[in-house]
Structure 1
């Protein structure tokens, strides 16, 4: 599941005439980098949610062989978007990936697959702050023996495996996965693994240059 429905407000003028996943990085739309990671990890069923300027993104997704999950009339946030897309994703745990990030190093989805264990509810890929390029905010989590707690020097990279059945208890169609993670963390059931490489936040214009530098240095 690729998250591609957002308004891209941090991108400013760059998203005035296009959705953020279509902003070019190293000559390719951001969404293409995410789809390439999925295909390189052997994932063939890829779904992306759309909302803002969906009429521009949808034909491009079709060309990539990605199934569209259109959110109308309102955007559903990450949790609601994933729950809405469940019929398109099939049964069982799913990978999710934000479309506004670039990675250097091992394929993040392969790393997650290697560390996923039966019985997990969610496994998040994190990176230390010193390898989180374009990240100006503090970290998101602390990682101890494979378990995540809120607060700490680890940054969520936007890549995870999650069992979407845990979303069924949310009656409101609009909700964030962050709420789900908080509940799991309080129960000691939120798992994490460190990305053995670098990560760039491409959710804002300054992140584009940082991401392109990472790609050029591969």
Structure 2
């Protein structure tokens, strides 16, 4: 599941007339960078949710293996968006991936799959040590214990990539909601886990991050 529905307001004028997933980084739209990673791993189904300027993304990906979950009239946020896409994704655990990051290092989906233990985990998050993150100004999201379980707190940064079981989404009454609601339930049951990413990651969430991402792709020591 590729999250591609957002407004990208922190990108300023760049997203006035085009959606953030189509912003170029090193001559290629952000969503194409994400799809390179996804296709290298090779899931059976790739779904992208659409809301803001959806026809542009649909046209860009026309004829590809990506299917679309259109959110209208309102954007549904990450939790509502994932739930709305379940008829396309199926009932099994799924990867979810933001489309506004650049990676240098091992394939993030393959790394998660290697560590996924469904008997113990309801979700496995891929997180970034702060020293390896570019373009991100927050204090971090999760603290990791020796068993790989997480609690909330300043520490590792959530990368926007995870494996997650989706059955409990049906228990949430809101139509528009963040996946944080589902994570809170998993935290209460001690079933939310994370793995640190050993490479570099750039959050392309604002205009200034594009240059950082391009330097990362060029192999610069940033």
Give the TM-score of the pair, scaled to structure 1: 0.97
1:11 is matched with 11
1:2-151, aligned counterparts within 5 Å? 2-119=2-119, 120-144=121-145, 145-151=147-153
Q: Deviations over 1:37-80 (max 9, x none)?
A: 11001224100000000011111122432101000000000000
- Contact 1:3/1:99 (8 A) holds in 2: yes
Deviation at 1:207, TM superposition (A): 1.2
1:185-204, aligned counterparts within 5 Å? 185-204=187-206
Alpha-carbon separation, structure 1, partners of 2:197 and 2:47: 23
* Farther off after superposition, 27-36 or 56-65: 56-65
- Contact 1:134/1:201 (8 A) holds in 2: yes
Q: When the two structures are aligned, how many residues end up with a matched partner?
A: 218
Alpha-carbon separation, structure 2, partners of 1:181 and 1:201: 21
Deviation at 1:186, TM superposition (A): 2.9
2:156 is matched with 154
Deviation at 1:179, TM superposition (A): 1.8
- Contact 1:79/1:177 (8 A) holds in 2: yes
Secondary structure at the counterpart of residue 181 of structure 1: helix
Q: Deviations over 1:110-169 (max 9, x none)?
A: 000001112321100001111110111110000112101000310000000001112111
Q: Deviations over 1:175-209 (max 9, x none)?
A: 00012112222332111001110110001111111
Q: Give unpaired runs (5+ residues) of structure 1.
A: none
Secondary structure at the counterpart of residue 117 of structure 1: coil
- Contact 1:25/1:211 (8 A) holds in 2: yes
Secondary structure at the counterpart of residue 125 of structure 1: strand
Deviation at 1:89, TM superposition (A): 0.6
2:165 is matched with 163
Q: Give unpaired runs (5+ residues) of structure 2.
A: none
